[in-house]
Amino acid sequence: VEKRQYGSRPNDAHFLEALVGHVANGSSVLVVGSAEPWHEAVCLALGASRVTTVDYGSRKYEHPQLDQVNASFWNQLDDANLGYDVVVSASSLDHDGLGRYGDPIAPDGDLLTMRLLLRALAPGAKVILSVPVGPDRIIWNLMRIYGKDRLARLTDGYDVVERIGYDSTKLDEAPENVLRTYEPVFVLSVPDQICLEDAFWCNFQKRTVFGQSVVTVVTVVVVALMVLSVARDLRAGKYLAAGATLVMSAIAAVYGPVALFCLPVHIYIHRPERPKVVDFGRAPRLG
């Protein structure tokens, strides 16, 4: 590790590079799935203060900074109550839910675990993840291979900090030997605001126009229209309408998303008056 000699196997080299770059001295690390404490030892060598392994198997450690918890660990998690700086998952989530290692059958076990970590970790916590990449496929009951569809679903909601060894062309390239998998490493981060792919409003706010967020652009346009409306109302002597519009402009300027709701209210206040019906009485009969 000190010499940054990560070996000749690309999968191992990618993961070691990720650990060296993102496991800081004094950090706490959770290892998800482990056949032997190889990654745990590397994390300790990098200065991790404690390393916990969660696995369906059972083992005992003699090192004071190593411990293990069983699968019931997942049932104890709640929003933002998982106090680890880094989560490490090296080619383990692709097996999750397939029943090969004593885990219960769950077709979306991998996605559920990633969603659970997203909710339970504090903002800024990192997930260092490697999975086999290629056309979407399940090799029962050995592993999943992640293509364009499932890879996007696996990382949904996280910010991608770094991709190590990643080649997007591999998403469509089936390996000649499925046991020789291509496994790049994804370094993910938990965002301050969790925004899943199916959350319309959250994704809408992330869109940009001319380098500015959609909400910012809409807010500027709405406030500008309201200011012009205030000037028109004052000239027409409609002081009450001008005051209401001025208040809405101030609210929209401070709370951007509210601008989308202030606009229809403004339109309602300034709707054209209905024409008055004048009753001229009955017309006299002729003849």
Asked if the model's pLDDT at residue 280 lies above 60, the reply is no
Here the tokens at position 158 are 């996280």
| Exposure on the CB side of residue 63, measured as CA atoms within 13 A | 17
Kindly give the pairing relationship between strand 185-189 and strand 159-164.
antiparallel
Please report which confidence band the pLDDT of residue 278 belongs to, taking 50, 70 and 90 as the band edges: low
Q: What does the pLDDT average to over 125-144?
A: 95
- What confidence tens digit (pLDDT) does each residue in 136-177 have? 999 998 999 999 999 999 999 999 999 999 999 999 988 788
**Residues ≥6 apart with Cβ < 8 Å to 282:** none
pLDDT at 253: 63
pLDDT for position 258: 58
Rounded Cα distance between 121 and 143, Å, is 26
CA dihedral 97, 107, 129, 197 (to 10 degrees): -150
CA-CA distance, 158 to 194, in Å (whole number)? 7
Rounded to whole angstroms, what are the CA distances from 175 to 74, 220, 286? 33, 52, 98
Mean pLDDT of the chain: 83
Q: Percent of the chain, pLDDT > 90?
A: 46
Cβ-defined contacts of 64-70 (< 8 Å, 24+): 66/37, 66/40
Are 238 and 227 in contact, with CB atoms under 8 Å apart? no
In this structure, what token pair is assigned to residue 211? 């380098």
Angle subtended at Cα 154 by Cα 151 and Cα 156, rounded to the nearest 5 degrees: 105
Residue 114: which of 141, 147, 139, 92 has the closest Cα? 92
| Rounded Cα distance, 152 and 116, in Å | 16
pLDDT tens-digit profile of 39-69?
999 999 999 999 999 988 888 888 999 999 8
More confident residue, 5 or 118: 118
Tell me the pLDDT band of 180, cut-offs 50, 70 and 90.
confident
Show the tokens assigned to 89.
């998952």
Q: Interior CA angle at 35 toward 32 and 40, to 5°?
A: 60
pLDDT at 277: 60
Per-residue confidence band for 227, with pLDDT thresholds at 50, 70 and 90? confident
CB 245 within 8 A of CB 230: yes
Q: What is the per-residue pLDDT across 72-101, written as a single tens digit (0 to 9) for each?
A: 888 777 766 788 999 999 999 999 999 988
Cis peptide before 141 (omega within 30 of 0): yes
Angstrom distance (rounded) from CA 127 to CA 182: 19
